């Protein structure tokens, strides 16, 4: 057995910076799976169906370029 202070120090490699959006999405999927008591595959299917139902075309009345309070 070696004493802890006699071991050679090892450098720790920094982790790759993960995309926070991806981590947030994965966390949200896990939460949905827990809340609805469904599998992660079902969550993925639910999200895909929702995206397909959404209309990505032009909106009837687009948002104004400038928003002023009181007009």
pLDDT in tens, 45-54: 998 998 888 7
Q: How many domains does the chain have?
A: 1
Is residue 27 within 8 Å of 40, Cβ to Cβ? no
Is 33 a member of any domain? yes
Tell me which residue of 21, 20, 47 sits closest to 38, measured CA to CA. 47
Is 36 a member of any domain? yes
What is the distance between the alpha carbons of residues 57 and 49, in angstroms, rounded to a whole number?
A: 17
Is 28 a member of any domain? yes
Is 71 a member of any domain? no
Is 59 a member of any domain? no
Domain that holds residue 45: 19-53
Is 2 a member of any domain? no
Reported as a single tens digit per residue, the pLDDT across 2-21 is 566 666 777 777 666 678 88
CA distances from 53 to 18, 21, 50 (A): 30, 23, 5
Is 37 a member of any domain? yes
């Amino acid at each position: 057995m070696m004493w802890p202070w006699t071991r050679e120090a090892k450098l720790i490699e920094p982790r790759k910076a993960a995309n926070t959006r991806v981590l947030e999405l994965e966390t949200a999927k896990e939460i949905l799976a827990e809340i609805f008591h469904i599998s992660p595959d079902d969550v993925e299917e639910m999200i895909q169906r929702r995206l397909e139902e959404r209309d990505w075309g032009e909106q009837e009345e687009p948002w104004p370029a400038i928003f002023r309070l009181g007009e």
